A and B are shown apart, each in its own frame.
Chain A
Amino acid sequence: MGQTLFDKIWDAHVVSSAEGFPDILYIDTHFIHEVTSPQAFDGLRKRGLPVFRPKQTVATADHNVPTWDQHLPIKEELSRYQVDMLTKNCAEFGIELYGLGHPFQGIVHVIGPELGITRPGCTYVCGDSHTSTHGAFGAIAFGIGTSQVEQVLATQCLLQSRPKRMKIEVNGQLQKGVGAKDIILYIISKISAAGGTGYAVEYAGDTIRSLSMEGRMTICNMSIEMGARCGLIAPDETTINYVKGREFAPKGEAWDKAVAYWQTLYSDEDADFDKVLSFDAADIEPMITYGTNPGMGIGVTQNVPATTDVEKAEQPSYTKALNYMGIHDAEPLLGKPVDYVFIGSCTNSRIEDLRQVAEFVKGKHKADNVTVWVVPGSKQVQEQAIREGLDKIFEAAGFPLREPGCSACLGMNEDKIPAGKYCVSTSNRNFEGRQGPNSRTFLASPLTAAASAITGVVTDIRQFLKEEELV
């Protein structure tokens, strides 16, 4: 019997395996940030322990940082305190910190890949559920809680039971205007916000293979939104070309050796998955969510389901979600006015996302009723966008380019969507109050978000593409 990609990587990292115990899994790189680490460092101090492998720990400040005037001290006292604590803890325990002002600072799941820290065949953890992003490189990467952050700091290992394996295949040609974000929102809408719980999900099929690394990261990023432990995609030429030459990527002989290993990382033909699902790319429309979990999504031209179409046991939760969102039973979303558009987050804040949005908005201007925030995922993305002149295009369109951070994805900084307002967001969660107390989030792709910013209402990007083809 052949092995799955997941099992190959897992087996290569098992330090110890004993009957009745979870495996002790070796972690190649541990990413930390200011929100889920302070109590872990406190725990180490109480136990009198050092960080076991500080050189395999990478820190950044992202959740709390302002996205405007980043050179000034953080205004919000508790945010500033948390970032200061991270600085202090990293200094005390000998950890490299890419804090505010550092050229490598940014969202933890954006900087790992762009610095060449994220590589095929490795294991990554972080006290953040979107650590699943790094699986796009053919790696095992998942989010952990603070007690586990402490465990990895203390031992560079994690006690973990092997999850079941699921394969999700997507094959066929995507429609124009449909991208990675639509694929993953579509899959989650089909299998629900709990459909992947207990599984490591490998994405396969020619549609997935055709995606850029940025697109693959968007897919793996949202694996957690179907409950999956992690998501991963077998490395190929696209992966190798992306990693090559990056700051911390292997060089010379080490590079050749690494590539030779990476080429062995795929699921064998006869590998056994606990579950296999297949989807046809042609069925996928530009997607949008209407509810309060990422599984509540529809094609942008469809109507919100009627309550009577929902299973009886789920109807109370469904009604609660629609009430929160201020949406009626069976209502169309197309044409619904929006107040905010947020382009950013670890799902869609990479240079390719910004380029795609800039290309679309060039020569257009946002609607008067919409406030637009474009938040790059990292300092490097911001600087590259400026080098490429994207900031000027955004400025002219009324889309000011801000500074890097998690921003309005979860609003731990000043960037919050006001109560009752609608935001088309490229982030990953539409939970109640996610973007600010009583804010209302429609999750969508960067193109759908940008098109909605231009028209001021929920928009089908394909409408623009048709018009532009005619010109």
Chain B
Amino acid sequence: MIRVIAAAVLVASPFVGVLAAEGDYLPIPAGRFASALNYEDAPGKQPVAAYSMMRTPVTNADFLAFVKANPKWRRDRVPTVIAEKRYLSHWAGPLELGDTAKPDQPVVQVSWFAADAYCAAEGARLPTWTEWEYAAAADETRRDARSDRIWRERILRWYSRPSNTALPRAGLQPANVYGVQDLHGLVWEWTEDFSSMLMDADNRNQGDPDNARFCGAGALSMNDRDNYAVLMRVAMLSSLSAEATTANLGFRCVKDTP
């Protein structure tokens, strides 16, 4: 059944972008999942509860509607402590998208606080890292395609594309097995717990006074050293502060399954 849907979406892909502009949510079933990250405190597969996830990342048009409804998130009004100066700087004006921000492109230059507020306004929330990684482990036909070298290389090729070219619009790529699009190959995405990634740059630091930076055990390490795509995402997210914005970082929201 799921494969049939995936195939249908593939066939219909020229039109999916249009459908996806609605910001609709698709169910992601519960499961057990082995993260590419190694959590010392919880080794092995983690249970993931069912949730639903936006089909595509939030677009400029979606975010403009949010800013219009919530003027405190206008770029000329938002305090720098929750959104740095580059926030929405690619828009033509505080309430105007212009040529460099097409309505159906994913919104970028948004801080974690802004993404968090957008999702809250939808009655949703940002996905946890595990929820994001769980959904992003799927390809068009498999819930977990991560052991497939070809799939991994495909993702890495996307990541190696220069970031100074215009972003494609959201919803152009084939849907994964859940019907979700663009988890790879379009923009990086915020997660709710991006600041839970306490990566020690160098574990030779043990015994160094700096190890008091972390309370107790539980620093992260990579379980799956071949999965460079995940490593890149973790490195990127763990280097950000919550008010930071970048030209290729967007977000999507999730909802708990009632």
The answer to whether A and B belong to the same complex is no
Q: Which residues of A contact B (CB under 8 A)?
A: none
Q: Which residues of B contact A (CB under 8 A)?
A: none
